[in-house]
Every structure is written in structure tokens, then in C-alpha cells.
Amino acid sequence: IKNIAVLTSGGDAPGMNACIRAVVRTGIYHGKNMFGAVQGYQGLINNNIIPMNARSVSNILHMGGTILKTARCLEFKEDAGMEIAFKNLQEKEIDGLVVIGGDGTFTGAKRFGEKFGINVIGVPGTIDNDLYGSDFTLGYDTAINTVIEAIDKIRDTADSHDRLFFVEVMGRDSGCIALRSAIASGAEAVLLPERETSLKELITKLKAGASTKKSSSIVIVSEGNKYGGAYDIAKAVKRKFTHYDTKVTILGHLQRGGSPSGFDRILGSRLGFAATNALIAGESMKMVGLKGNKIGLTSLSEALSGLGNYKLEDDLLEMTHVLSI
């Protein structure tokens, strides 16, 4: 490996900058020429590939977002787009690629690597925590903390007014953010994409709380659950349960921003360092991940095939039910 490019793609996640810094500095330490593609795969296609040195990544460790910018690039899904991207990399003699992102990013990386034989290593960067091969993805910890901080504030006003709140959180098809934040914020119930809770069960739970003098209640709604958005669910519940005045809050994209937590800064640094070292050691088509506090490699296909509900811990869900009576 002579020249390495790093990019961030898909939804941004706190800790991506820590990871970019680690990739760039580890490469430079080993005498490689380092580049950054601006706006992910779009930057490869637009030839927006900039040289980076150790100072290009100074003072970014604490910053949310990504200094390289990101995009969900449709053009890269087409062969024509990939060919242009490859030609641009070839021109700069870039033979190694570190891609930081989620499932969409890895799907693109896998096809690109298979088609052109370029060496590619993935770093799991998504607040959703939905990739197989890493106990935690970059940005997930910060996102949970952001959600918890928001729900703490909602709890203050919910309790003051004796209200029932439905709070919608992100995660796409993964309920990881919802479940963890439900535990940490003491939510009365949580609706997840991976497990079915009927509206009847939900109402029974809320009624039980009201009958034991719970003055307010919070239900966390994961965006991918089967009943729809928080507004729909609030409406459906309200038709059958009128004990509380009901309100809805959708946390939305604020969950993706903010300064990364200590955990995500360290994780980003570890994963970036490991990704560059793996490329230099001749690895390719793999994702670096954290497994039981050790950095390991998983093939991109395996990382993608693990998408689904394997990460949702039933014991934690059971605990949430018990602790919220």
C-alpha cells in the first residue's frame, strides 16, 4: 500500500472526526501518502480527493459531524459511477481505501472492492449500532447520551403537568438506541422494531402505572416499529386511554450531532488506527470492530449479513419491563 484515501459516507456519526484523525496520522506515521475524499463516494466520483497531512486533522477530535463531509451517493450504486471513482483513484495512485459508515457504505465498498480489486477496510460508523462484528458502532454511545439528556428534560415537564409523552428516537430498523435510552431514562415502555408489543399491552402497562399513582409516563418509540411514528401511536393510545394529557416529541437529527463522548473518541481512534494498520498489513474487504474490548476483523459480507435483530438483548428488554412498574 502506497497511498491511502479515507472517506465518511451515509449518515454522520459523532466520533467520525476522531477516526479520520487516527487514519491520517497512522498512515503518515508509516510513511504513506494520505488523502481524504470529500462527501464520501461522491467525492471519489467528483475527483474531490484532497491530500491530507498531520495538521489537516488537528483539533478535530472533539468535533461532531465529519470534516470530510458525507453523502448518500446514488451515483456510486451504478457501474458507471464506480468506474469514474476508480479512474480518479488510479490517477492519484491510491491503492487503499478506508470507508467510515454504515450498511449502505459497506454495501458500496464491497461491490467496489470486488469489481476493481482495490484494498478496502470499513469502519462501523453509525448511531444505529446495527452492524455485525462490532459490539458498538461509532457514534452510538454519544447518540444514546444525547437522547437521555433530552428525555431527562422531557421528564421534568411531563412530571410537572402529569402528562404522557411519546418520544420518537432514530435507529432505522434497529431498536438499540430506543432500548438503551429506555433503561437509562426510566421510560415506562418502549416500542421496538425487533420485538412486538401490542398496543393493548402498552395500554395495560400505562393503566397499571396510572393506577399505582404514576403522575407521568414516557414511552419511547423507535422509528422502525410496526405501528408507525410517535404521532400515530399517541393517537391510537389516546382513543382508548385518556387518563393523561398526551404529548409527542420527535428527537430527529439532533441525535446525530454534538461533541463525541469519551467512549466514541476512544473508539474512533482505536478503529481508525486499526483500519490503517490492517490495510498496511495487506488486509482487505474487512471491517474493523470492537469485540469484547479487543479490536477484530470481520469480512464485509458477514458484517452486512448480520443486519437484523441479533443485537437486541432480551434480558435488557425484560429488565426494562420490571424496572418500570
- Name the residues annotated as catalytic: 128
The CA-based angle 318-127-131, given to 5 degrees, is 75
The nearer residue to ligand F6P, 11 or 124, going by C-beta atoms, is: 11
Cβ proximity to ligand F6P: between 81 and 171 the closer is 171
Other C-beta atoms closer than 10 Å to the C-beta of 215 total 13
Quick check: 31 and 49 in contact, CB under 8 A?
no
User: And the C-alpha cell for 94?
Assistant: 491510491
Cα separation of 70 and 91, whole Å?
22
Cα–Cα dist 304/311, whole Å: 13
Q: Which of 66, 126, 146, 276 binds ligand F6P (CB under 6 A)?
A: 126
Choose between 5 and 251: whose C-beta lies nearer to ligand F6P.
Answer: 251
Does 274 belong to an annotated binding site? no
Burial of 211 (0-12, 13-18, 19+ CB in 10 A): exposed
Q: What is the DSSP code string of 93-148?
A: T--EEEEEE-HHHHHHHHHHHHHH--EEEEEEB-TT---TT-SS-BTHHHHHHHHH
| Residue 128 binds to ligand F6P (criterion: CB under 6 A) | yes
**Which of 16, 85, 127, 178 is the binder for ligand F6P (CB under 6 A)?**
127
CB of 98 to ligand F6P, least distance (A): 19
What whole-number distance in Å separates Cα of residue 240 and Cα of residue 198? 13
Whole-number minimum distance, CB 192 to ligand F6P, in Å?
Answer: 14
Nearer to ligand F6P, 186 or 229 (CB): 229
CB nearer ligand F6P, residue 5 or residue 127: 127
Name the segment binding ligand F6P (CB under 6 A); options: 58-66, 76-84, 124-132, 153-161.
124-132
Binding span for ligand F6P by CB under 6 A among 121-129, 185-193, 288-296, 305-313: 121-129
CA distance 50 to 68: 10
Q: Select from 225, 145, 227, 217 the least CA-distant residue to 181.
A: 145
311 annotated among ligand-binding-site residues: no
Q: Supply the minimum distance, in Å, between the C-beta of residue 172 and ligand F6P.
A: 4
Contact letters for ligand F6P, residues 149-188 (x by CB under 6 A): ---------------------xxx----------------
Cell readout for 212 is: 399505582
Q: Which stretch binds ligand F6P (CB under 6 A): 122-130, 199-207, 229-237, 285-293?
A: 122-130
Q: x/- site string to ligand F6P, residues 238 to 267, per CB under 6 A?
A: ------------------x-----------
Residues 54-113 that bind ligand F6P (CB under 6 A): 72, 102
Which DSSP state fits 310?
T
Count of chain residues binding ligand F6P (CB under 6 A): 11
Please compute, for residue 292, the number of CA atoms within 13 A of its CA located in the half-sphere on the CB side.
Answer: 0
Task: Tell me the H-state helices in the chain.
Answer: 16-29, 41-45, 79-91, 103-116, 140-161, 176-185, 199-211, 230-240, 262-280, 300-305, 314-323
Query: Minimum distance from CB of 253 to ligand F6P (Å)?
Result: 6
Piece of the chain touching ligand F6P by CB under 6 A; list 23-31, 74-82, 123-131, 180-188: 123-131
Instruction: Give the annotated binding-site residues for ADP.
Output: 21-25, 155, 186-188, 214-216
Binding site for ligand F6P (CB under 6 A): 11, 72, 102, 126-128, 170-172, 223, 256
Q: Residues comprising the binding site for ATP? A: 11, 72-73, 102-105
